[in-house]
Amino acid sequence: MLFGNIYKKILLKKVFLYVCCLINKNMVNEHYEKYKDTIKKCARRHYRKRIVLLNEYLADKSCKHCGESETVCLKFYPHDSEIRKKTKRVGTSNESRKEIFELMDDSYILCSNCWIKLDNDLIEFV
Ligand SMILES: [Zn+2]
C-alpha cells in the first residue's frame, strides 16, 4: 500500500513534469517565434557590446608574424577561444575583465593564417 502510494506519486510527478516541460517548450517556441527578430537583434547587440572589448584591444594591434592589421583577422595565441568564450560570458565590469586581460597579456597577437600555421608548427617564434 505504502509502496503503491510512493510509486503513484513518482509517476504523477513524472507526468506532471513532462506536461510542464511540454507546455514550457510550446510557450518558449511561441514566444520565440513572436519575438524572434527582437531576440536576435538584442542578442546580437549584447554580443557586439561584449566583443567591443576585444575589437578595441585589437584595433591598434597587428599580427606578430606578418603584420596583418585588419582587426577581424586577428586572434590571440594560444588563448583565443578561451578569451572569446570568457568575453561572451562575463559582464563588462573591470573586475570580470581582469581575467581576460591576464589571458591577453599572456598571448601573442596573430592573424588567422599565422595562427593556423603556428598551431601546425609551420612557423616558429624565438
Ligand atoms: Zn599573420
More confident call, 71 vs 6 = 71
Rounded to whole angstroms, how far apart are CA atoms 89 and 50?
A: 9
Rounded to whole angstroms, how far apart are CA atoms 105 and 107?
A: 6
Residues with CB under 5 A from ligand 1 (ion): 63, 65-66, 68, 111, 114
91 is in which domain, residue-wise?
2-119
pTM over 0.75: no
Whether 90 is covered by a domain: the verdict is: yes
| CA 105 to ligand 1 centroid distance, Å | 18
pLDDT digits (tens, 9 = 90+) for 34-91: 888 887 887 777 777 767 778 888 999 999 999 999 999 999 999 999 998 888 777 6
| CA 99 to ligand 1 centroid distance, Å | 25
Structural domain count, the chain = 1
Alpha helices in the chain (DSSP H): 2-59, 80-89, 94-105, 112-119
Grid coordinates representing 24? 514550457
Whether 124 is covered by a domain: the verdict is: no
